[in-house]
Amino acid sequence: MAILVTGGAGYIGSHTCVELLNEGYEIVVVDNFSNSKPESLKRISEITGKLFPFYQMDVLDKKALDQVFSENTIEAVIHFAGSKAVGESVSIPLAYYQNNVIGTVILCEMMKNYGVKNLVFSSSATVYGATDQVPITEDTMLGAVNPYGRTKLMIEEILRDLSESDETWSIALLRYFNPVGAHRSGRIGEDPNGIPNNLMPYISQVAVGKLESLNIFGSDYPTKDGTGVRDYIHVVDLAMGHLKALEKIRSKRGVDAYNLGTGSGYSVLEMVEEFEQVSGQSIPYTIVERRAGDAAICYADVTKARNELGWSATRGIHEMCEDTWRWQQNNPEGYSEESKIKQETRSPVLKTAVGLFMSH
């Protein structure tokens, strides 16, 4: 019995694959590499010393998805695959509705056909919109403010309808706050396309000298130092949350949403200072206008995840910055061709692992 991980080569997906393999789960990974690289899969194998089947395909491709379900005995699905850039979703909304919403519908149809009714869905705190009501509980009013957020909200509603129609489904909706950090090994981490939109990858690219200076979006928010406050969560803690959710849906039917955050908020300036301390580099910055759509302050109430999943984050901002910095220093170009060559000459595990990757 295996766990199907869609989008398993991506940032959160790859870290979750590592934790699943470490826990002894069998996994099957699908990814279309639209926002990830094959290299991350090789590194999952390298870190864990384990092999797993992989299909390069789109979840929109029904025939390919059917093949995955018919060739493997799938027990549950962790669904990460989807598009995630807020700005891009405003320019190409149809692509977002297609990839995220239609992709999830197709996946659920296939799960239904094969009698697989356990699903962990990668949602986001973005479903709370730009609320300033903190801490945010799972009962805080929902309301997305951009197409990306609306796709997450629509999917949550679709999954609730599905569960309503057939009580044998077990679904966890995981609402991530701000995922940062990287695996301790420095081998896998966040590899954004082009100039990063999010704070942590931007800071770390300034620290490593790839970008000159950080723009801080506003210093007149009603927060401790005027800059935006967020609930940053280490990606390995987040990955562990998926394992706990998986355990939960094996024993409980219906749909439940869980906030995955630390419950603490840090300002942009606090993150900059911590990163400077950890890296020993200075992070020059300029205060600019607020970014449209940004909330002043956003952090989670994590009581539900703690009580019902038995999960809470254990890694603080020091570790988040340390691990981000290790990843950034070791992989200044992300999973580039260069880092691929370097790794191939260094790791004998790699060749065995490559042998197992099955391309659709």
> Rule CB under 6 A: which residues touch ligand UD1?
86, 124, 126, 149, 178, 197-199, 202, 214-217, 228, 230, 268, 291, 293-294
Each as own residue / partner, the long-range contacts of residues 193-197 (CB below 8 Å, 24 or more positions apart, any chain) are 193/35, 197/85, 197/86, 197/87
Least distance from C-beta 217 to ligand UD1, angstroms? 4
Give the span between the Cα atoms of 220 and 149, in whole angstroms: 25
Residue among 157 and 294 whose Cβ is closer to ligand UD1:
294
* Closer CB to ligand UD1, 86 or 106, in the complex: 86
Q: Are 19 and 192 in contact (CB under 8 A)?
A: no
Cα(133)–Cα(300) distance, integer angstroms: 10
What tokens appear for 233 in the block? Answer: 């969560």
Task: Tell me how far, at minimum, the Cβ of 46 lies from ligand UD1, in Å.
Answer: 26
Per DSSP, the residues of 119-149 read EEEEEEGGGGTT---SSBPTTSPP--SSHHH
25, 30, 34, 38 alpha-carbon torsion, rounded to 10°: 70
- With CB atoms as reference, the residue minimizing the distance to ligand UD1 is 228
**Nearer to ligand UD1 (CB atom), residue 12 or residue 47:** 12
Give whichever of 50 and 183 is closer to ligand UD1, judged by the CB atom: 183
Catalytic residues: 148
Q: Tell me 317's DSSP state.
A: H
Which residue is it, tokens 């600019």?
A: 288
Q: What share of the chain is helix, strand, coil (3-state, %, to 5)?
A: 45, 20, 40
Residue number, 178 or 259, with CB nearest to ligand UD1: 178
Using alpha carbons, select from 40, 73, 88 the residue that is nearest to residue 350.
40
